[in-house]
Amino acid sequence: MTTHPSLAIDLDLLAPFSGTRCVVTGGLGFIGSNLALTLDAAGAQVDVIDALVPEHGGDVRNLGDNRQINVVLGSIADERITLESVQQADFVFNLAGQVSHLESMTDPLRDLELNVRSHLSFLETLRHHRPGAVVVHASTRQVYGRPRYLPVDEEHPTAPVDINGIDKLAGEQYHLLYARVHDMSISALRLTNVYGPRQNLSKDGLGFLPVFIRRVHAGQPITLYGDGEQLRDCMHVNDVVSAVLLAAIVPDARGQVFNLGHPSPMSLRAIAQAMVAQQPGSDITTVPWPSDLAPIDIGSFSGDYSKAKRILGWEPHVDFVDGIADTFAFYREHTWYQSPI
Amino acid sequence: MTTHPSLAIDLDLLAPFSGTRCVVTGGLGFIGSNLALTLDAAGAQVDVIDALVPEHGGDVRNLGDNRQINVVLGSIADERITLESVQQADFVFNLAGQVSHLESMTDPLRDLELNVRSHLSFLETLRHHRPGAVVVHASTRQVYGRPRYLPVDEEHPTAPVDINGIDKLAGEQYHLLYARVHDMSISALRLTNVYGPRQNLSKDGLGFLPVFIRRVHAGQPITLYGDGEQLRDCMHVNDVVSAVLLAAIVPDARGQVFNLGHPSPMSLRAIAQAMVAQQPGSDITTVPWPSDLAPIDIGSFSGDYSKAKRILGWEPHVDFVDGIADTFAFYREHTWYQSPI
């Protein structure tokens, strides 16, 4: 497997983490495992904390044959689980959470526990036992709801359209409040649609990108809802990892929230077409919006990431065609991602 | 004790509740007890649900010698507590909650339980067992944080400055989401500073108005932080009760959030002066902002209530001087409000 050069993470971003102690919550998940492996390769001592909540994307196999990363299984809500890792941490990357919008509507109290209470509890642990750690929180563009204008900047009103969005917003706001009121080095990134290696392809509810990838691999048609003309930013996970690392090392990031985004937002139809082009014989079909999803659809979205560019010096480097080719190559090599659980 | 005519609640507002079954959560508290007594007087069968959480303002004595109101003691989070009342309810006035900003910062997980999880749980009970009830939720202007412009309308971005504000916003957003997604008749009112009879005067942390009133009664000086020039809308509780009743009976209120406000915002100094004028010999002192409060101060606030005026036909009728005179008369007559717990 060869990797497109644009996918490499800048070595200048890795150097500051050499010899540091890093905690990655949700580190057995998609973005978390990519980050943990990157930090490990940078020479950091990495503790992963992950509850392996059923229906989430986490899997111990995401860390491959790495034996250096210390894996702690349990909830970030439980100080007995987190304390040893947290007490020594220089950097805490708080990526744990539940991401399914639909599941948040059918079991809202569970989403509240996973995205709100556990994070508030974790922040209390940090405040009492390691207030000097640098913390980066993974938030989501979902806090904006249906955009009033495009591209959406950080000043856009927050108006989430589902329980998951309400809960993620509360979790993010707690982080920024602790930065301000308790004088902690915390920043938050509002992620958007992310793809790349180590994403759980076997489950629905983790976003449309892994579903599309799974269906193309399985020789099933990609199903588009409605006209498929809704825009999305597709972020390769390495660009997200770069943003997370920058948020940790740029002092001016402290107390700030940053959008991520891509210079070339794509329609769902164009995304599907780019994927289908990777696999001869695959196809696209169109159906009306399912009744349970229509009320929480947000239409087109694209993020204004000029604040991240200005303050973090970040911008995405991976073009979708390069990134998706690399992603498909990864999943052809690691076939277990495609087998149903 | 004579009551100023402007304080009377319009009889046209009361008629629709005659013969109905109403639930008032937090109905032993300040606003809740005033509402429960009003509904009872209107001929409704009223169930009050109140957990009498220590440090909150609730007190069984707020209902006086009324024997018609059915009091259920327990948490709205517990379906075993709420089910019997909820199953028969035509109207549910959801006023339960924790209001102390300072306490939310020292015990954030408790605020989360009381203002977020219990409300989500209560909404699930309503959705499953009485989705047709009309629900009015008491939210707060605190969701706006430090105003970017005055007066603040409902389009103003939400940016709470403390845990209580983050939690109240999540609770409010759940209510509006359930209206939209589950097709329920739910509206929310963003309350601002409220005064009047049946407010707990003995505790700090329930807003500055009861503290000012207590100190004037006790012959202690009112202490102003900073220059005392911050503006606030002071709402007499009867004007709030009128707004709550209108939100329940106006069909277009469904799914909407409304600011309350007053045509004459007052500075804290002017508020203090109006109170001191009621009690010869009382006084005002000025001190710098306490360090634990400064980070969560929001400066001046005044609410644009034109949406409530347009859709609900609501506007406040009680001038502060009339309202505070009536309030002082009430507390002179009911002296237990001034005794420490």
Instruction: State chain A's mean pLDDT as an integer.
Output: 93
Q: Residue A62 and residue A55: Cα distance in Å, rounded?
A: 15
CA distances from A312 to A6, A21, A70, A195, A304 (A): 19, 22, 29, 22, 14
The tens digit of pLDDT for each residue in B218-277 reads: 889 999 988 899 999 999 999 999 999 999 999 999 999 999 999 999 999 999 999 999
A105 to chain B: closest CA residue: B181
The beta strand positions in A84-198, using DSSP E, are: 91-94, 134-140, 185-191, 194-195
List A residues 217-236 in contact with B (Cβ-Cβ < 8 A).
Answer: none
Would you say residue B30 has pLDDT above 70?
yes
B122 to chain A: closest CA residue: A109
Residues of chain A in contact with residue B157, where contact means CB-CB under 8 angstroms, are 155, 157-158
Of A157, A166, A180, which is closest to B174 when you measure between CB atoms?
Answer: A166
Among candidates B32, B26, B1, B25, which has minimal Cα distance to B241? B32
A157 touches chain B (CB under 8 A): yes
Q: Could you tell me the end-to-end alpha-carbon distance of chain B, in angstroms, rounded to an integer?
A: 26
pLDDT recorded at residue A283: 92
Contact A173 B166 (CB under 8 A): yes
pLDDT recorded at residue A2: 52
Q: Residue A216 and residue A188: Cα distance in Å, rounded?
A: 33
Q: How confident is the model at residue A340 (pLDDT cuts 50, 70, 90)?
A: low
The tens digit of pLDDT for each residue in A95-122 reads: 999 888 888 889 999 999 999 999 999 9
Q: Residue A172 and residue B287: Cα distance in Å, rounded?
A: 34
| Residues in CB range of B74: below 8 A, 6 or more apart | B49, B51, B80, B81, B82
Q: Residue A218 and residue A328: Cα distance in Å, rounded?
A: 12
Contact A162 B174 (CB under 8 A): no
Would you say residue A240 has pLDDT above 80?
yes
pLDDT recorded at residue A280: 82
Q: How confident is the model at residue B2 (pLDDT cuts 50, 70, 90)?
A: low
The tens digit of pLDDT for each residue in B281-313 reads: 889 999 998 887 777 678 999 999 999 999 999
> For the ranges A203-207, B134-138, B334-338, which has the lowest average pLDDT?
A203-207
Contact A160 B166 (CB under 8 A): no
Question: Are the C-beta atoms of B214 and B202 separated by less than 8 Å?
Answer: yes
Q: What tokens does B169 get?
A: 């916003």
Q: Residue A112 and residue A116: Cα distance in Å, rounded?
A: 5
Please tell me whether residue B213 adopts helix, strand or coil conformation: helix
Q: How confident is the model at residue B103 (pLDDT cuts 50, 70, 90)?
A: confident
A172 to chain B: closest CA residue: B166
Contact A158 B158 (CB under 8 A): yes
- For residue B25, the surrounding DSSP H or E stretch is strand B21-25
pLDDT recorded at residue A211: 92
Q: Helix B208-217 to helix B320-333 angle, to the nearest 10 degrees?
A: 60
Among candidates B170, B145, B148, which has minimal Cα distance to B297? B145
The tens digit of pLDDT for each residue in A85-101 reads: 999 999 999 999 988 88
The helices-and-strands tally (H runs, E runs) of chain A is 12, 13
CA distances from B63 to B19, B29, B198, B331 (A): 20, 9, 9, 15
Q: Give the pLDDT mean for B150-178.
A: 96
Please give the model's pTM, rounded to 2 decimal places. 0.94
| Residues in CB range of A218: below 8 A, 6 or more apart | A338
B160 touches chain A (CB under 8 A): yes
- For residue B216, the surrounding DSSP H or E stretch is helix B208-217
CB pairs under 8 A between A and B: 71
Residues of chain A in contact with residue B162, where contact means CB-CB under 8 angstroms, are 177, 181
Instruction: State chain B's mean pLDDT as an integer.
Output: 93
B146 touches chain A (CB under 8 A): no
- Output b/e per residue, B10-27; b: 16+ Cβ within 10 A: eeebbebbeebbbbbbbb
φ/ψ (deg, to 5) at B303 = -100, 135
The tens digit of pLDDT for each residue in B69-89 reads: 999 999 999 999 999 999 999
Q: How far is B170 from chain A (nearest CA, A)?
A: 6
pLDDT recorded at residue A290: 85
pLDDT recorded at residue A1: 46
A83 C-beta neighbours (distance < 10 Å), count = 14
pLDDT recorded at residue B340: 61
Cis peptide before B151 (omega within 30 of 0): yes
Q: Give the pLDDT mean for B32-52.
A: 97
Would you say residue B1 has pLDDT above 50?
no
Residues of chain B in contact with residue A163, where contact means CB-CB under 8 angstroms, are 120, 174, 177
Q: Give the pLDDT mean for A169-188.
A: 97
Q: Give the pLDDT mean for A251-274.
A: 97
Of B124, B170, B296, which is closest to A170 when you measure between CB atoms?
Answer: B170
Residues of chain A in contact with residue B181, where contact means CB-CB under 8 angstroms, are 105, 162, 295-296
Suggest the residue from B173, B174, B178, B181 to mutate for an interface test with chain A (most A CBs closer than 10 A).
B173
Would you say residue B191 has pLDDT above 80?
yes
